[in-house]
Amino acid sequence: MTDTLEITPALPIPEFLVGEVRSKLAYVDETIRKAEVAISGNRITLHLEQAVDAALEAELTAKVQRVVTAMVKGAFKPKVQVLEDYLDRPVLYAEDPNTELLQRGEMHQETNGVYTLGPLVTRLMEYFEAQFLDLADSFGAPPYRFPTLIPAQYLQRVDYFRAFPHSLTFVTHLREDLDVIDSFSQHAACDEHGLNTAPDSFSKIQALLSPAVCYHLYFALADKPLPGGKLAATSVGNCFRYESSNLVSLERLWNFTMREVIFVGPKEYVLDNRETARNRMRDVFERIGLAYRVESANDPFFIGEFRKQAAFQSAFQLKYEIRARLPFKDSTLAVGSYNYHQDFFGRSLNITLEDGSPAHTGCVAFGLERMAYAFLAQFGFDVEQWPAEVRQAVKK
Amino acid sequence: MVASDLVDRVRSLLAEAFELPVDGIPPDLEFGGIKQWDSMGHMEIMLRLEAEFGIELDTELIRQLTSIPEIVAYIEEKEK
């Protein structure tokens, strides 16, 4: 019996895939508490919730090898393109902000990946939100409000289930059945794993918690010509991506807030605006003095889709991430992204331009919690030392 | 290999990938020219090219090889 499992991957994991494979291992089995992949790519270590016997060990090993083979075999090596590199900007702080955030009551964990935030973090988020609203204004992008729930049928129509099944968060309710509801009201109780209610008490899944903001706009525009031939819009919303044991402090939340500026129209309109947005945000980050880099990236597609979809995104430069420096761990964190979806949503949802061709779409998206977190990781908690405009904003 | 043979070989590869008759694949076809040659169709072609011609493609080549003439020119160059 062992609670740590060492596995030699069936194929050596190239360095550019080490992080992607490690993050996917969290979904291999519920017994895995933490997974590590050596940077050499030749060793995987699984830390398990409890000791397992030889049979379960063999089963876990086989599942891990499935992940490795699916992701590594025939993987296309990405060529990372760096558009901006300001990682060497001086920072004021090198400590782990989590310690201070907890001590100050600025961060309180409700459950894995779900946090309430205190006034300092909230005001910082509001400061960044104001910058993103200015960006939206500069494009004349009016505000929209979108729901937190999204119909299952919507996500099916854009093939989300195949691309990101691991990160979905489902919404349900008790079935319309008096006995079921009575029984629930009398017997429902939680243990450390959750509610004790039988799964058949719940309705079929009709809705999920929305994983992104812009999808709602695309569905509102579906199955008709795009009015005026082009559109800019902005919205902010709660987004949900379940990341299992990869959920870590404010760096990786299950429930987070995303502000998006969204463009729909001809290819050139979308690409030009994405580039203009990047240039305008570069000025904002320069004013603040944020240490960051903008580089090509890919979405965290699930294992079966990863190889092809990630390579396509990378090849056609569809996604660039704003990666802010985290000095305390000598690492970076994606705080936003500049995205171009080509005509994927236009074709999938039948959003047409005047000539009948499918509309192209793109968005720039910012994670507000991550922005505040990265700022605190670089500038610390002594507000007097902060850049003047941030200091003034949080003191209002 | 004569250039026209190579064009036909690539056309056959695309036809198999897209489950279409070879006649449905014109020799100058490019990405987006038919609905099957979309993003996922493109990646399917890239995987099949690697297997068929024993080549290794990186993301820069994936972006470049977006038409039959470009694919043929690249393979011809590799096979010189």
SS3 state at A193 = coil
Residue with tokens 């010189």: B80
Cα A50 to chain center, whole Å? Answer: 29
pLDDT tens for A278-329 read 999 999 999 999 999 999 998 888 887 787 888 888 888 899 999 999 999 9
Q: Which amino acid is at B52?
A: E
Q: Using CB atoms within 10 A of its CB, is residue B40 exposed (0-12), middle (13-18) or buried (19+)?
A: middle
Determine the pLDDT at residue A361. Answer: 97
Query: What's the gap in Å between the CA of B72 and the closest CA on chain A?
Result: 19
Using a CB–CB cutoff of 8 Å, tell me whether B78 touches chain A.
no
Question: With bands split at pLDDT 50, 70 and 90, how would you rate the model's confidence at B2?
Answer: low
Q: Which amino acid is at A341?
A: H
- Tell me how far apart the alpha carbons of residues A304 and A217 are, in angstroms, rounded to a whole number: 28
Q: Which of A74, A308, A315 sits opposite B50 (nearest CB)?
A: A74
Using a CB–CB cutoff of 8 Å, tell me whether B54 touches chain A.
no
Determine the pLDDT at residue A110. Answer: 94
What residues in B contact A308, CB-CB < 8 Å? 40, 43-44, 47
Query: What's the gap in Å between the CA of A163 and the closest CA on chain B?
Result: 12
In this structure, the number of other CB atoms found within 10 A of the CB of residue A66 comes to: 13
Query: What's the gap in Å between the CA of A75 and the closest CA on chain B?
Result: 9
- Mean per-residue pLDDT of chain A: 94
Report yes or no: A25 and A302 within 8 Å, Cβ to Cβ: no
Which helix (H) or strand (E) segment holds residue A158: the answer is none
Determine the pLDDT at residue B1. Answer: 55
Q: Would the CB atoms of A311 and B39 count as touching at under 8 Å?
A: no
pLDDT < 50 positions in chain A: none
Residue contacts between A and B (CB atoms, under 8 Å): 43
Query: What's the gap in Å between the CA of A292 and the closest CA on chain B?
Result: 24
CA dihedral A186, A188, A189, A192 (to 10 degrees): 170
Determine the pLDDT at residue A249. Answer: 92
Backbone region of residue A320 per phi and psi (left: phi > 0; alpha: psi in -120 to 50; beta: other values): beta
**What would you report as the CA-atom Rg of chain A, rounded to the nearest whole angstrom?**
22
Determine the pLDDT at residue A374. Answer: 98
What residues in A contact B49, CB-CB < 8 Å? none
Any idea what the Cα angle at residue A315 is, between residues A260 and A135, rounded to 5°? 20
Q: Indicate the domain borders of chain B.
A: 3-79
Whole-prediction pTM? 0.90
- Hey, of A17, A73, A76, which one would you mutate to test binding to chain B, going by the most B CBs within 10 A of its CB? A76
Query: What's the gap in Å between the CA of B13 and the closest CA on chain A?
Result: 18
Minimum Cα–Cα distance from A80: chain B residue: B59
Token pair belonging to A258:
């995303």
- Tell me how far apart the alpha carbons of residues A68 and A10 are, in angstroms, rounded to a whole number: 7
pLDDT tens for A164-192 read 999 999 999 999 999 999 999 999 999 98
Q: Which of B44, B50, B63 sits opposite A315 (nearest CB)?
A: B63
Strand order across the beta sheet in which A170-171 lies:
A149-151, A207-209, A170-171
User: By percentage, how much of chain B surpasses pLDDT 70?
Assistant: 96
Q: Would the CB atoms of A315 and B62 count as touching at under 8 Å?
A: yes
- Tell me how far apart the alpha carbons of residues A181 and A137 are, in angstroms, rounded to a whole number: 48
Question: What CATH superfamily is the domain B3-79?
Answer: ACP-like (1.10.1200.10)
- Tell me how far apart the alpha carbons of residues A209 and A163 are, in angstroms, rounded to a whole number: 16
Q: Which of A77, A311, A344 sits opposite B43 (nearest CB)?
A: A311
B/e letters for A177-190, b = 16+ CB within 10 Å, e = fewer, are eeebeeebeeeeee
pLDDT tens for A268-281 read 999 999 999 999 99
- Tell me how far apart the alpha carbons of residues A242 and A227 are, in angstroms, rounded to a whole number: 35
